[in-house]
Structure 1
Amino acid sequence: MMGIKLLKIKLNILYFILYSTVACFYPFLTMYFQMRGIPYYKIGILYAVNSLISIIALPIWGVISDKYSGKRKVIFITMILCSILILLFLFTKSFEAILFSLIIFMTFQSPILSITDAYCYEIIEKNKGLQFGKIRLMGSLGYAIAALLLGILIKKLGIEFSFISYSILMLCTILILKTIKFKGKRTRIPIDFYDISKLIRDKKFVLIVISAMFASISMGANGNYISILIQKTGGDVSKLGIVWFVIAMSELPFLFLGNKIMKKTGVLNLYIIGILFFVIRFFLSSQCTSYNAVILVQFMQSITFPLYLLTTIEYININSTSNLKTSALTAFTALAGGLGGLLGNIGGGFILQIKDIFFLYKVLGISCIISLIVALILKKYDKDVKSL
């Protein structure tokens, strides 16, 4: 019992610091691009490349993790390289230099979170006293605190401070991971192209990917362009830190209670509820006229993202064979998150060139309506399959 308690503490600290590093990079990236004089449509291209790298890199790292190196070793390698490569952004000035740095950095950054989640799930399978939602909420707490503090510090010290903070915190994450002795195991069942093709041909997998992809179009664009919404409604970088604090902190209750709620309502039912609230959230955002209203709307993150995160991971996990769990999760993240992010980022950038941020948020709401329709089709198909 004491062993499980100590392991839980270490995982909590790991997620807290790991997501603090994420808060040092993603929330302020659009502002960094703007400070470098990058126009909106080129910002969209940068974010699209970011998503494209994830689409390519995630499945590759997933297969490497499942078949060759193991999850723990892959996490170590990618974290060490990212702690160094992030410093490239301190020296980049031109669009081309930023693009090159982003490609190199994201090749190793993109798999860290999904493979860490898969590693955590593997630990949980061996230690039934642990729950993923309660561990993952520490990530949201870390993200919230880091985003709030960085919003204040960047205003005083400059945007470059965020990249230095990322490097320091990532090194701390590596040290915490080193104390977790659980190595996991590489699959004894070989993965071949038939396994991968079978996964891609699985109708349930395809439908959850399509639904999540349209939701990710909206989530990706919102995450990258909300700073512009804050600016257009009278806020500044310190207000952006508050927004991300609210977003991350609001996730905690549902991450804590998510497993219990999921058992009572069912995985797909909870997923559909989350997507429905995404629709409402983005349409409300499109109507905001002050940054205070924007901040209030972000409290809906408490329902939207935690339900999306917990249900998609659980659905992929229970519908994947043991030798493909990491590959399935990374493939899902690449196709849903990566491709959805690619479309949302590049589309968002071009929409902002010809329209305004409020029109963009209306489009994000429509994208979530499509996600909801596909989710309802998946629910019907899943019910039909179980009845056979």
Structure 2
Amino acid sequence: MNSSNVLSIKLKFLYIFVCAAIACFMPFLTFHFQQKGFSYTQIGIALAVYSIVGVIVQPIWGFITDKYLNKRISLIITMLLSSLTIYIFIFAKGFYFILISMILVLIFQSSVMPLSDAYTYEIIGQHKQIQYGKIRLMGSIGYGVTALCIGQAVKVIGINSAFILFSIVMLLGAAMAFSIKFKGKNIQEKINASDIANLIKDKKLLIFYIMVIIVNISLGCNNTYITILIQKTGGDVSKLGLLWFVMAISETPILFFGNRLLKKFNDLNLFILAIIFFALRYFLDSISPSYIFVIAVQIMHALTFPLFLLAALNYLNRKTNPKMKTTATTVYFASSGIGAFVGNIVGGMLLEHITVFTLFKIISIFSVLCLALGVKLKKINLFEDYTLMANSKENNTSKLYDVKEAIIE
């Protein structure tokens, strides 16, 4: 078995563990906070804190990784410390202590996925036959199966069973990351704060990140308050596991054929298409007559999040230089966190005054508004590509002219 195949297998197992750990934690936080007696506003605040920690911490980990460490070491450190700090969260009591303990976990856990993505793309850079979509597909399977099983376990044993399994799976993931002996290319240039500023000053990347924020305002509301929607349409905690299972498994065809889709339709086209389907999905959620309908609608997850993720990461990989790839990726995840922060806190406050069905109508409309920026970004990139082609053609013509003159002489 050649080195690329070995790396591909190990990366698939890494994503299974990373996504399985997330499935033990994120989908059941709203239910956990309800069990603790939090109000809708408190749940919104707690999950807004969940998002904002990522906004702050992810770029810091990206900067540290690019400047001082490497992706593999940073990934191992964050996974190990995530598996340990979760026990503080398990035993925390009271609103403020729970928030503090959650922040401690998230200082490490929130950067695990962006570091995994950045490390995987670094490996793909030297092993072109490895496809990100097929690697990420295994993560979706790990997430879906784990969420389904944990939903039943939480109903029978209790919520702490999910958090203990989170710790175990994170340790397994760290061990798998340790076993990957890939060494990336040594980039002699070191980044500084001005490089990060220049990243944001790039007009097309700035628009891209703003779109990511807007989409994640709606996505943050969906991921947090779909628990409430399931309850209001007759479901219980075990149905949450089924819901997240359906969402995760629905990703697999898109992720499997992701590379072909990117080549055929272009990352920006897929990015915009995903936003259209986000809007339609949330609208259908808003008119759900039963939890069965809600779960059925989540099959549309296949046409939203995986398309959005594949297109976004591919776009960043194309548009950023090698020394900034980790930072660009972590800024993407931080932008997602900003959106989720706004969505969580505003969604919680709105739910004190409106129904969850109205909330989903609002986020559907909000997703539609993002399309205008998508069209703007598309135009900028088309103009840029046209300019590059024109310059390239002009240079080639100039070279041919020089050769012709040399022959004549």
Supply the distance in 2 between the matched residues of 1:99 and 1:185 (Cα, whole angstroms). 40
Q: Structure 2: 5+ residue runs without aligned partners?
A: 388-409
Task: Check conservation: 1:211, 1:374, Cα contact below 8 A.
Answer: yes
Where does residue 31 of structure 1 map in the other structure? Answer: 31
How do 1:84-123 and structure 2 match up within 5 A? 84-123=84-123
Where does residue 168 of structure 1 map in the other structure? Answer: 168
Task: Check conservation: 1:68, 1:186, Cα contact below 8 A.
Answer: no
Matched residue of 1:235: which SS? coil
Deviation, structure 1 residue 235: 0.2
* Change beyond 3 A, Cα 1:33–1:186: farther
1:107-164 deviation digits (Å, cap 9, x = unpaired) = 1111110011000001111111100000000000000000000001110000111100
Supply the distance in 2 between the matched residues of 1:256 and 1:353 (Cα, whole angstroms). 41
1:346 equivalent to 2:342? Answer no
Matched residue of 1:69: which SS? coil
Which has the greater radius of gyration? 2
Supply the distance in 1 between the matched residues of 2:93 and 2:225 (Cα, whole angstroms). 21
How do 1:11-160 and structure 2 match up within 5 A? 11-160=11-160
1:48-72 deviation digits (Å, cap 9, x = unpaired) = 1111111111111101011101111
Moved more, 184-193 or 36-45: 184-193
1:6 equivalent to 2:6? Answer yes
Deviation, structure 1 residue 381: 1.3
Deviation, structure 1 residue 77: 0.8
Supply the distance in 1 between the matched residues of 2:17 and 2:190 (Cα, whole angstroms). 34
1:177 equivalent to 2:170? Answer no
Where does residue 366 of structure 2 map in the other structure? Answer: 367
Task: Check conservation: 1:41, 1:349, Cα contact below 8 A.
Answer: yes
Deviation, structure 1 residue 304: 0.5
Deviation, structure 1 residue 194: 2.2
Task: Check conservation: 2:285, 2:297, Cα contact below 8 A.
Answer: yes
Task: Check conservation: 1:65, 1:186, Cα contact below 8 A.
Answer: no
Deviation, structure 1 residue 75: 0.7
Deviation, structure 1 residue 186: 5.4
Letter aligned with residue 119 of structure 1: Y
Supply the distance in 2 between the matched residues of 1:191 and 1:257 (Cα, whole angstroms). 35
Identity %: 46
Where does residue 295 of structure 2 map in the other structure? Answer: 295
Deviation, structure 1 residue 6: 1.8
Q: Structure 1: 5+ residue runs without aligned partners?
A: none
Where does residue 398 of structure 2 map in the other structure? Answer: none
How do 1:257-276 and structure 2 match up within 5 A? 257-276=257-276
Task: Check conservation: 1:250, 1:299, Cα contact below 8 A.
Answer: yes
Supply the distance in 2 between the matched residues of 1:170 and 1:195 (Cα, whole angstroms). 32
Q: Give the number of equivalent residue pairs.
A: 387
Moved more, 26-35 or 265-274: 265-274
Where does residue 212 of structure 2 map in the other structure? Answer: 212
Matched residue of 2:25: which SS? coil
Matched residue of 1:206: which SS? helix
Moved more, 1-10 or 370-379: 1-10
Matched residue of 2:340: which SS? helix
How do 1:240-259 and structure 2 match up within 5 A? 240-259=240-259
TM-score normalised over the length of structure 1: 0.98
Matched residue of 1:28: which SS? helix
